Structure 1
Amino acid sequence: MKRALITGISGQDGSYLAELLLSKGYEVHGLIRRASTFNTGRIDHLFQDPHVPDARLHLHYGDLCNSEQLTNIVYNVRPDEIYNLGAQSHVKVSFDMPEYTGDVTGLGTTRLLEAIRRSGIATRFYQASSSELYGDAPAPQNELTGFRPRSPYGAAKLYSYWMTANYREGYGIWACNGILFNHESPRRGPTFVTRKITMGVANILAGRQHKLYLGNLDARRDWGYAPDYVEAMWRMLQQDRPDDYVIGTGEVRTVKEFVEAAFGHVGLDWREHVAIDPRYYRPTEVEYLLADASKAKRALGWAPTVTFRELVKIMVDHDVQAVRGESRVPSALTGKPVASLAA
């Protein structure tokens, strides 16, 4: 039985990855921060699922800011695969907390790579890189495109990207970067624009909200479905040799198009409900991100399975049901509903 360690297991990607690995027979270990309140809503259903034995899912308290903790966990768990998904991942927040973002998102990766090197274990390491590395670089962007990050978050991810490459080349650690473009789901955090839109639609439809305030509607993004993207992560670590891959759909939409699709899905006219608030603009904007994922399609055999319209429908339907108190989450192994899911 393979053993995996996931940092950020309680996040969107971490929860879907945990489900995927459990369905493949892995023993899964997750890193969570000790806090005054639990933030495990996205994975609580796994502990209630009779098809997931207790002995195959374990949570460990730890922090990407604490190198001693990381070294102890890596050495004691001795995972076959490590997926570093933990980060301060909100771009807008990174402008307000640049030092913290650099410490967690940037230096946190170095601490984890050092834990691997110092423990001497043989493991495969996945680093969650981001399309924010590209910033205002010309589109479409692929593995050969030059990086031009436009936020503290993008800069911290760039540091992590190059540290991963350096530990791979300098110490022979099996390590790769997955440069994932925007990927969404009903488990996306409510402060991210796509989820903010779909939750706004649900609340407006239910009469709980009248206006949805947004920022730059002209920003263009390559949006995919998060479960597709965690499949790509896993495939990267099954290759004969480590490499870096861009993951995206190859199709671009504006924020305005997402808004139109979300409101249109429930028969509402977005122009009656959406207003622009300058507070949601960033000091430096990233206008156009479009993936060229031809390398991943060729080398990994990966391709997205959910279209843009289907993605919007999945998210809106979930949030409409959640507002009505009907939200359910499928079992990781059977696909049957087992419990309600916290976003």
Structure 2
Amino acid sequence: MMTRRALITGITGQDGSYLAEFLLGKGYEVHGMVRRSSEEKFERIAHIREKVVLHQGDLLDQFSLAALLSQIKPQEVYNLAAQSFVPTSWNQPVLTGEFTALGVTKMLEAIRHTAPETRFYQASSSEMFGRVRETPQSEMTPFYPRSPYGVAKAYGHFITVNYRESFNLFAASGILFNHESPRRGLEFVTRKVTHGVARIRLGLDTTLRLGNLDAQRDWGFAGDYVEAMWLMLQQDKPDDYVVATGETHTVQELVEIAFARADLDWKKHVKIDPAFIRPAEVDLLIGDYAKAKKQLGWEPKVRFKELVEMMVDADIERLKRD
């Protein structure tokens, strides 16, 4: 039986690391694309570094993508690389557009000309819904993005649909709602909260500054969501799927659970800072994953409270080690 090969862009990120683990568990030969930089960060894949093959490449360089595809000959490509932090997209909108939108086109072009049989997964985002047109949001809900990141993701999503329909590529998109883990970057609110709680618990800090506590999100566990990515590429036909929990929680709920896990009173430590409030807030994101459940047989396993507590525990242990 032939060993399947997969190429993951963004393998050093949260999702990339969980997906690489998942595919290794399925017996895949896993390749990852990383950008050449003076400061290479492989912490999230350090434990599997010897089991994956890393290649230098750049989403903005279509020729390097084509060369990689020719060399690796992957059956599956997972495009997870992007400028993925919403506030940064306001400060660097052009860079965000180049990586998060045009980078998708360049990868699709490379596949079309070099490896048209390859199955392609595009990481779309619930941020495309933005100022939501209906609640909950499904695959049929119109997009109304409220940030340069959301706009770029909408471009990446629709260009994937267009290449699927115009060139008959197996190109699927996962419209993933917020998904978190102990490997989430410190700039994201979930990890900012759990890391802040851990610092306060260990006496390293006294205050946690946050923005809008009323903002609501549909938060799941990244380890669950990468299984949905894989399932999309195992279907007979490519399609787009919402991946979510179907539950919504406020930032304040996140804060309450995190501080309670560390036996702390959040009201004594949390300060509201207007600097952390978005120029255009996304008010309520909640996903309807009925299609993924029916067609992929996928459901989230880790619940919200369990996820937050897992992250707090991991941050406390990490800070104790450090």
TM-score (norm 1): 0.92
8 Å contact from structure 2 (residues 69, 115) kept in 1: no
Match of 1:226 in 2: 222
Counterpart CA distance in 2 for 1:99 and 1:323 is 36
User: 1:266: Cα distance to partner?
Assistant: 1.2
Deviations 1:248-276 (A, max 9, x none): 00000000100000001111010100001
Match for residue 81 of structure 1 among 36, 51, 76 = 76
**Cα RMSD after superposing both structures:** 0.9
User: 1:47: Cα distance to partner?
Assistant: 2.7
Code of the residue aligned with 2:315 in structure 1: it is D
SS of 2:186's partner is: coil
Counterpart CA distance in 2 for 1:65 and 1:215 is 33
Match of 2:88 in 1: 93
Match of 1:45 in 2: 47
SS of 1:268's partner is: coil
Match of 1:12 in 2: 14
Counterpart CA distance in 1 for 2:287 and 2:77 is 25
Give the alignment of 1:49-128 within 5 angstroms.
Answer: 52=51, 57-128=52-123
Counterpart CA distance in 2 for 1:297 and 1:3 is 26
Code of the residue aligned with 1:11 in structure 2: it is G
Counterpart CA distance in 2 for 1:263 and 1:21 is 35
Counterpart CA distance in 2 for 1:136 and 1:323 is 38
Counterpart CA distance in 1 for 2:69 and 2:162 is 20
User: 1:121: Cα distance to partner?
Assistant: 3.8
Match of 1:32 in 2: 34
2:255 aligned with 1:253: no
Counterpart CA distance in 2 for 1:116 and 1:62 is 15
User: 1:322: Cα distance to partner?
Assistant: 0.7
8 Å contact from structure 2 (residues 17, 45) kept in 1: yes
Counterpart CA distance in 1 for 2:135 and 2:185 is 27
Match of 2:283 in 1: 287
Q: How many residues are aligned here?
A: 319
Counterpart CA distance in 2 for 1:246 and 1:167 is 20
Counterpart CA distance in 2 for 1:120 and 1:185 is 33
2:125 aligned with 1:130: yes
SS of 1:86's partner is: coil
Percentage of identical aligned residues: 57
Counterpart CA distance in 2 for 1:47 and 1:147 is 38
Counterpart CA distance in 2 for 1:273 and 1:69 is 49
Match of 1:199 in 2: 195
Code of the residue aligned with 1:13 in structure 2: it is D
User: 1:120: Cα distance to partner?
Assistant: 3.7
8 Å contact from structure 1 (residues 263, 269) kept in 2: yes
8 Å contact from structure 1 (residues 135, 149) kept in 2: yes
8 Å contact from structure 1 (residues 83, 127) kept in 2: yes
SS of 1:318's partner is: helix
Deviations 1:312-336 (A, max 9, x none): 110000001111118xxxxxxxxxx
Structure of higher RCO (CA pairs closer than 8 Å, 6+ residues apart): 1
SS of 1:324's partner is: helix
Unaligned ranges ≥5, structure 2: none
8 Å contact from structure 2 (residues 179, 222) kept in 1: yes
